[in-house]
Amino acid sequence: MRAAVIVVASMTLAACASTGVAPTASTPPTISSPSSASARAGTAPPAAGDDWPTYHGDLRRTGVSASMPLTAGVPTVVAALDLGAAVYASPLVVDGTTVVASERNDVVGLDNTGRQLWRTSLGAPASRSELPCGNIDPLGITGTPVYDATTKLVYLVAEHGGPPSHEIVALSPLDGTVAWRTSVDLPGVDAKAMQQRGALSLAGGKVWVPFGGLAGDCGDYKGRLVGVPLTGAHAPVAYTVPTQREAGIWTPAGPTLTDDGHLLVAVGNGASGPGDPYDTSDSVLELDGTTLVDSFSPSSWASDNAADLDLGSQGPALVGDRWVFIAGKSGTAYVLHQGHLGGIGGEVSQAALCTSFGGTAVVDNVVYVPCTDGLRAIRISSTGAMDVLWQSDAAVTGSPVVGGGRVWSLDPGAGVLHTIDPATGRSLGQVTVGVTSRFATPAISGTQLYVPTMTGLTIVRTS
């Protein structure tokens, strides 16, 4: 493996939209600069880096920055921002502005030093007392937003309280002005039992919003992918998993965009178990808009469903132009064929690997997999076979990103970001960033990483 070379990539609803909402005036975030950052006083600010406009940098979810300079020395925290609420979503970087969305339904624009440029409040979030179950309180913006270069807008979904509801909001990354907003609560489910955790995506002139359920799997929810025109001018459409309940599309990585413009989604356990008819749960689905064109489920799907050991916890990873890698809660990983996922039991290969939650990073034919017992590097051969290259020597379980000749991954429990040798899996350094959610993943731009925390954002300088 080459350590130094890193290569990148219908249902309708009558809804009202409002336009031209200006950002609210608000107190700037509290910024603490540790002593190591103070030593940089008087130095020039870092140069603006490339955009990071979506979860893991691109719609293929590769998690790779091709422009980060080779990392030298020990990473350093240059700013720790208290935004007054937890940040579960990955930050975006657009034209030098870092866009951070919080569970308080605040969206903040920052420059690359952490200085606030604007803040927009989108309304009160839902409180835990209003929800039938769940583990985020308050519950506001959880899924990672997405930026579209044609409309020059950032799209995100905010959950509101009184009663719980969901709306998509399109806003400018330049100044936080809201262009339009509309409901994405469609008939057929209980809105208060639905949760928007997965990253948003773009395809076919629409922004796509995945939905699953709350922690605890309570209430009448179903996995659903809602498509909203980028202009907000027409009613949303949706694909809903054909199960009696559950089968959430909830993994934080969200849908993966294929080269032919289709979306791959991972689906959790559904209502069907042993002896019941197949209900398209515990699966990878390929969707062309709201049309299901292909699917894969393990031959053990029914028993997986009964034991909550489904594929819904990890996003599908595209490996080159031939393979799809997927793992989940059962400990078994699968390689599928792009364009022919294989149906039930139709994998190209399978292997006992690990329990995986979150999003992968992919460099050439190597997949970096977030495992609950430590990060793995997996090489996919020309025949689709899997080879484990290494398991990390540190307790890193976060969804990895790659840049500067290193793999970057979090130990969420300790609040530590590790820089990892991509050839060996050995931790080459670490820096304390603050407590994060188990699904937190950094954004990369220039020489900096932007890490979402349970109080806001930490900015790390890598060189």
Q: What is the pLDDT of residue 48?
A: 63
Q: Which of 108, 138, 103 is nearest to 24 (CA)?
A: 108
Q: What is the pLDDT of residue 394?
A: 83
The residue ranking higher by pLDDT, 72 or 226, is: 226
Whether residue 391 has pLDDT greater than 50: yes
**What mean pLDDT comes out for the span 104-127?**
98
β-pairing verdict for 206-213 and 224-229: antiparallel
What token pair was written down for 421? 């040798």
Q: What is the pLDDT of residue 395?
A: 87
Q: Which residues of 334-368 are buried (b: 16+ CB within 10 A; e: fewer)?
A: bbbbbeebbebebbbebeebbbbbbbbbbbebbbb
Whether residue 16 has pLDDT greater than 50: no
Q: What is the pLDDT of residue 463?
A: 79
Architecture of the domain made up of 254-357: Beta Barrel (2.40)
Whether residue 165 has pLDDT greater than 60: yes
Whether residue 24 has pLDDT greater than 60: no
Q: What is the pLDDT of residue 72?
A: 86
Peptide bond preceding 277: is omega within 30 degrees of 0, i.e. cis? no
pLDDT in tens, 182-196: 999 999 999 999 999
Contact of 328 with 372, CB cutoff 8 Å: no
Percent of the chain with pLDDT over 70: 90
Query: What fold is seen in the domain 89-251?
Result: Lipocalin (2.40.128)
Whether residue 17 has pLDDT greater than 80: no
**What mean pLDDT comes out for the span 423-432?**
96
Q: What is the pLDDT of residue 46?
A: 61
pLDDT in tens, 215-236: 999 999 999 999 999 999 999 9
**What mean pLDDT comes out for the span 372-386?**
98
Alpha helix ranges (H) inside 110-191: none
Alpha carbon of residue 336 to chain centroid:
21
Q: What is the pLDDT of residue 107?
A: 98
The C-alpha atoms of residue 458 and residue 100 are separated, in whole angstroms, by 11
Whether residue 40 has pLDDT greater than 50: no
Stated pTM of the model: 0.91
Which run of H or E residues covers position 286? strand 283-288
What token pair was written down for 15? 């809804």
The C-alpha atoms of residue 269 and residue 306 are separated, in whole angstroms, by 8
Q: What is the mean pLDDT of the chain?
A: 91
Q: What is the pLDDT of residue 268?
A: 98
Q: What is the pLDDT of residue 9?
A: 34
3-state DSSP helix/strand/coil % of the chain, to nearest 5: 5, 40, 55
Q: What is the pLDDT of residue 432?
A: 98
The C-alpha atoms of residue 93 and residue 49 are separated, in whole angstroms, by 9
Backbone angles phi, psi at 128, to 5 degrees: -60, -35
Whether residue 35 has pLDDT greater than 70: no
All CATH 2.40.128.630 domain ranges in the chain, comma separated: 89-251
Q: What is the pLDDT of residue 1?
A: 34
Question: Which residues contact residue 264 at a Cβ distance below 8 angstroms, ignoring those fewer than 6 apart?
Answer: 255, 256, 258, 284, 285, 286, 287, 316, 318, 324
Whether residue 244 has pLDDT greater than 90: yes
The residue ranking higher by pLDDT, 2 or 321, is: 321
Please report where in the chains the tokens 């262009």 appear, as a residue. 179
Q: What is the band of 74 on the pLDDT scale with cuts at 50, 70, 90? A: confident
Percent of the chain with pLDDT over 90: 88
**What mean pLDDT comes out for the span 37-43?**
32
Q: What is the pLDDT of residue 150?
A: 98
The C-alpha atoms of residue 90 and residue 52 are separated, in whole angstroms, by 10
β-pairing verdict for 291-297 and 343-344: parallel
Contact of 164 with 157, CB cutoff 8 Å: no
Whether residue 61 has pLDDT greater than 60: yes
pLDDT in tens, 271-327: 999 999 999 999 999 999 999 999 999 999 999 999 999 999 999 999 999 999 999
